[in-house]
Amino acid sequence: MSTVVQSPEADWVSRFADEVIAEAERRAPGKPIVCASGLSPSGPIHLGNLREVMTPHLVADEIRRRGHECVHLISWDDYDRFRKVPAGIDPSWAEHIGKPLTSVPAPAGSTYASWAEHFKAPMIAALAELGVEYTPISQTEMYTKGAYREQILLAMRERARIDTILGRFRTKGKAPSKKPKDEAEEAAAEGSGAATEDDGASGGSYFPYKPYCGNCERDLTTVTAYNDETTELTYVCGSCGHTETVFLSEFNRGKLVWKVDWPMRWAFEGVTFEPSGVDHSSPGSSFVVGGQIVGEVFGGERPIGPMYAFVGISGMAKMSSSKGGVPTPSDALEIMEPALLRWLYARRKPNQSFKIAFDQEIQRLYDEWDALERKVAGSDAQPGDIAAHSRAIGTAAGPLPSTPRPLPYRTLASIVDITTGDDEQTLRILHELDPENPVTSLDVTRPRLDRAQRWITTQVPADQRTRVREEPDTELLGSLGDTERESLRLLLEGLGSHWSLDGLTTLVYGVPKTQLGLPADVKPTPELKVAQRTFFALLYQLLVGKDTGPRLPTLLLAVGADRVRTLLGG
């Protein structure tokens, strides 16, 4: 491989792009560079699977930015066998186990023609929203139209060699793995539906090809005879007992076993870069074994292939998780703008795990993202941060759609929580946030506003939603001491002159300072912090009946000055 000189400040995407460009030039100079991903629509395609796509997407996009022709292939492994019925699906679907995913009916109520199409559709929509440019390949189409015929016949001729290669690894134990920490890791550990398939060994003669039965469509078949010269093949089905003799030079209803299929495709497609999940990291894994099969049998080379780590989930509410599974990119895009989701994958090296937040942590993530935007705009961001930001907000084809006026996510979430999504009330509050630069249309706050509203309605449990009191808490107001009454008086007196987000922030933090005789710019002391927490808790109790809630300045704006005065006994 060519020596690549890399800048120590280069981010992981740039470093891989350097390597891939050099390697592609060595392998096939002048030809388009090929990056690849594989997805199995065996069930909901979750956020862990998205890393299988985003890793090569980001590298391919960087290569395109540099002016090279680069193709990102996504193989839909829709000719894989249906292995199991996911949780939440009618158990009667078990009758289809062993059939190709494109031959299995879609779940009940679906408008799609097959199981595969049903689970591909939301991922296709999510990739479009994320700006992922790719060339799709249906393995059902490739196999059933005979695209791999010569490769299948070659593999059958070389079956003894393949068996010998596989035999080197069959006695090796799998690397010990830690128990997955959560449902997302457990699902990701399974890899694609093909990753755990057998390698074709049956105790008798070895054949790297499995027909789908002509009677029951299942792959529970055993090849009993094969003639290299005539390509005559006989199989028997272990499910229905059907026996059939065909000519493999004409037969298109079957596929190579996974550990042969994958390296065959590397050579067929000329793949230079393809990552793999942790399920391919053991000594006898598909990626390791495939590296030998691709060279010794198909005359190709294994791609550069970083192993990518798990993507965990923080706080996915059961009410909106994908049926029986972990959250999907579509789920995430309901509550996140595409740039934020892209950034989460761009800023971490493939071998670094990270979590995607569906709970309150999403507010901190958005704060972090907004802070990065300010740093980049102010030219004081680190090179790696600038690169990740650039990869998040657009691609070589241009920028992604963005929110014209990106107000803080936590502020928007608080407002739509309090207003229950009422557009008129929401606009009133947004207009009052900054009187010198008022929001005059909700359109300038979208799509972020819509994402925040969706988060509130799908991810925040009802008992954690904010409900402003209808009437004053006369019992609590009547029990207040002089210090508490004075704090409320100071707040109410200052409402008119502080009626903006910044003004109310100054006011609510300033009341305890005034009561303690401290200047407005004093640094917080332990005594002041206690006084502020006590004051805040009192306001929350009088406004929403709880000790905590949305940020008080936002809450006060949302409630409105007249109603605040009523609830605080003014």
Of 519, 548, 513, 507, the C-alpha closest to 532 is 513
Contacts of 183 (CB under 8 A, 6+ apart): 313, 325, 326
What is the 3-state secondary structure of 411-454?
A: HHHHHHHHHCCCHHHHHHHHHHHCCCCCCCCHHHHCCHHHHHHH
Distance CA 488, CA 568 (A): 7
Q: Is the pLDDT of residue 180 over 60?
A: no
**Least confident piece of the model among 309-313, 360-364, 561-565:** 309-313
**209 neighbors 156 (Cβ within 8 angstroms):** yes
pLDDT of 5 reads 44
**How confident is residue 329, by pLDDT bands cut at 50, 70 and 90?**
very high
**How confident is residue 570, by pLDDT bands cut at 50, 70 and 90?**
confident
Q: Quote the percentage of the chain above a pLDDT of 90.
A: 83
Of 215, 214, 177, the C-alpha closest to 196 is 177
Locate tokens 């995430």: which residue? 332
Intra-chain end-to-end CA distance of the chain, in Å: 77
pLDDT of 198 reads 64
**29 neighbors 272 (Cβ within 8 angstroms):** no
Distance CA 511, CA 509 (A): 6
Distance CA 570, CA 564 (A): 8
Q: What element of type H or E holds 27?
A: helix 12-27
- Dihedrals phi, psi of 33, to nearest 5 degrees: -80, 135
Map out the domains of the chain with their CATH numbers: 12-308 (3.40.50.620), 409-464 (no CATH), 474-567 (1.10.10.350)
Locate tokens 């000790």: which residue? 547
Q: Quote the percentage of the chain above a pLDDT of 70.
A: 91
- Rounded to an integer, the average pLDDT of 444-461 is 96
**78 neighbors 139 (Cβ within 8 angstroms):** yes
pLDDT of 86 reads 86
pLDDT of 278 reads 79
* Residues 369-417: tens digit of each pLDDT: 999 999 999 988 999 999 999 999 999 999 999 999 999 999 999 999 9
What is the 3-state secondary structure of 85-128?
A: CCCCCCHHHHHHCCCEHHHCCCCCCCCCCCHHHHHHHHHHHHHH
**How confident is residue 67, by pLDDT bands cut at 50, 70 and 90?**
very high
**Least confident piece of the model among 196-205, 227-236, 426-435, 517-526:** 196-205
Token digits of residue 473: 């808490």
Most distant CA atoms of the chain, gap in Å: 101
- Rounded to an integer, the average pLDDT of 348-375 is 96
Token digits of residue 371: 């802070």
Strands 135-138 and 209-211 turn out to be unpaired
Cα Rg for the chain, rounded, in angstroms? 30
Q: What element of type H or E holds 221?
A: strand 221-226
Locate tokens 């502080």: which residue? 498
pLDDT of 3 reads 44
Report how far apart, in Å, the C-alpha atoms of 258 and of each of 77, 153, 196, 200, 491 are: 10, 16, 8, 9, 69
Q: Is the pLDDT of residue 60 over 90?
A: yes
CB-based burial label for 346 (10 Å; 0-12, 13-18, 19+) = buried
The SS3 call for residue 223 is: strand
- Rounded to an integer, the average pLDDT of 539-561 is 94
- Rounded to an integer, the average pLDDT of 38-61 is 95
Average pLDDT, the chain: 91
**59 neighbors 34 (Cβ within 8 angstroms):** no
Within 107-196, where are the H helices?
A: 115-129, 139-144, 149-157, 159-170, 183-189
